[in-house]
A = this chain, B = another copy of it.
Amino acid sequence: LAGGPGFGGQVRISTVDSINKLGEYFSKFPGIGPRQSKRFVYYLLRQRKESVDELITLLKKLKEDTKICASCSRYFPSSEIGLCSICADRNRSNETLMVVEKDIDVDNIERSGVFTGKYFVLGGIVSPLDKNPGRKIRIEELKDLIKKKAKNNTLREIIMALSANPDGEETTDYVVQAISPLLSENKTKISRLGRGLSTGSELEYSDTETIKNAFARRT
- List chain A positions with a Cβ less than 8 A from chain B: 11-12, 14-16, 18-19, 21-22, 25, 29-31, 36, 38-46, 49, 52, 54-56, 58-63, 65-66, 75-80, 85, 100-105, 107-109, 111-115, 123, 159, 161-165, 168, 191-219
Choice from B62, B107, B168, B205 contacting A45 with Cβ under 8 Å: B62
Q: Are A163 and B209 in contact (CB under 8 A)?
A: no
Q: Are A159 and B218 touching (Cβ within 8 A)?
A: yes
Once the chains bind, are B212 and A192 in contact (CB under 8 Å)? no
A165 to B79, CA, bound (A): 44
User: Which of A46, A101, A202, A212 is the most central at the interface, judged by chain B CB atoms within 10 Å of its CB?
Assistant: A202
Contacts of A113 in B (CB 8 A): 208
The residues of B that contact A18 with a CB separation of less than 8 Å are 58, 61-62, 65-66, 77
By secondary structure, the A interface counts as helix
Determine if A22 and B194 form an interchain contact, defined as CB atoms under 8 angstroms apart.
Answer: no
- Given A29-B43, A195-B196, A196-B198: A79 and B159 within 8 A (CB)? no
In the bound assembly, the distance between CA atoms of A87 and B56 in angstroms comes to 32
Whether the pair B215, A193 counts as a contact (CB closer than 8 A) is: yes
CB distance from A195 to the nearest CB of B (A): 5
The interface residues of chain B lying within 8 Å CB-to-CB of A42 are 75, 102-104
> Is the Cβ of A38 less than 8 Å from the Cβ of B104?
yes
Bound: A23/B191 CA distance, A: 33
| Contacting pair B123 A46 (CB below 8 A) | yes
Q: Contact: B194 with A219, CB < 8 Å?
A: yes
- Whether the Cβ atoms of A195 and B193 lie closer than 8 Å is no
Q: How far is the CB of A123 from chain B (nearest CB, A)?
A: 7
Contacts of A44 in B (CB 8 A): 59, 62
Closest approach, in angstroms, between the C-beta of A47 and any C-beta of chain B?
9
B215 touches A217 (CB 8 A): no
**With A15-B65, A58-B21, A104-B39 in contact, do A195 and B192 touch (Cβ < 8 Å)?**
no
